[in-house]
Amino acid sequence: MYHHQHSSQGYDPSKFQHPVQVQAPAPAPPQAIRSSPYPAPAMYPPSNGGPAQWSTGLCHCFDDLSNCLVTCFCPCITFGQIADIVDRGTRPCSSSGTAYGLLLGFTGLACLYSCVYRSKLRAQYDLEETHSDCLVHFCCEVCALCQEYRELKNRGFDMSIGWNANVDRQRRGVIQPPVMGAPVIGGAMMR
């Protein structure tokens, strides 16, 4: 058995201390502390003329059938994609989707989490609130998620690649802002 005998030998702490001084790292400059490595996209600024209308209606889920099916069977995927864009890349799609899925699986009340993102989305793009965000998500969760997904997609986001890749594509000039104009009406009927 190994024993220290400090009292009989006279313990001298200076033998065990190193004269190395550790300096604290210099604080990062303010511009280096960011929630995302990319700036906010300039292609979709909020309008200045009051609240804007949503680009599609709440019940137009079949306008994007593939997203409608994904949202019906696995809403955590759609929610994760929406949250990644709305949070501007500060939280990965997978972690938001997982949190949503766990809330849905264990409590059935994932709508309380997703309604917060609807509010954030409306604030970012100055969208009108026809009904309470929580009420919309509580009563029509799938429709609300589909509408939010379509809104971001109609604003030029490629929802499958996330925030950072969308901003990178915009920087390189791959994405051009959509031109919002009057809807195109099909040709006249002919006999």
What's the rounded Cα separation, in Å, for the pair 64 and 60?
8
Map residue 52 onto helix, strand or coil.
Answer: strand
Is residue 18 situated within a structural domain? no
- CB burial string 54-66: b at 16+ within 10 A, e below: bbbebeebebbee
Q: Does 22 map to a domain? A: no
Q: Could you tell me if residue 14 is inside a domain? A: no
The answer to whether residue 128 is domain-embedded is yes
Long-range CB contacts for residues 155-162, cutoff 8 Å, separation at least 24: 155/43, 155/44, 155/55, 155/125, 156/43, 156/44, 157/85, 159/81, 159/82, 159/85, 160/81, 162/81, 162/84, 162/85, 162/89, 162/92, 162/93
Comparing 54 with 3, the larger pLDDT belongs to: 54
What is the reported pTM?
0.66
- CA-CA distance, 178 to 191, in Å (whole number)? 35
Cα 24 to Cα 17, 51, 113, distances in angstroms: 19, 48, 39
For 119-136, the pLDDT digits (tens) are: 999 999 988 887 888 899
More confidently predicted of 47 and 174: 174
**Is 4 within the bounds of a domain?**
no
Residue 36 inside a domain? The answer is no
pLDDT, tens only, 76-100: 999 999 999 999 989 889 999 999 9
Whether residue 109 is contained in a domain is answered as yes
Helix (H, G, I), strand (E, B) or coil at 36: coil
Asked, for residue 19, whether it belongs to a domain, the answer is: no
The number of domains in the chain is: 1
Contacts (Cβ under 8 Å, ≥6 apart) of 11: none
Task: Supply the range of the domain harboring residue 149.
Answer: 65-169
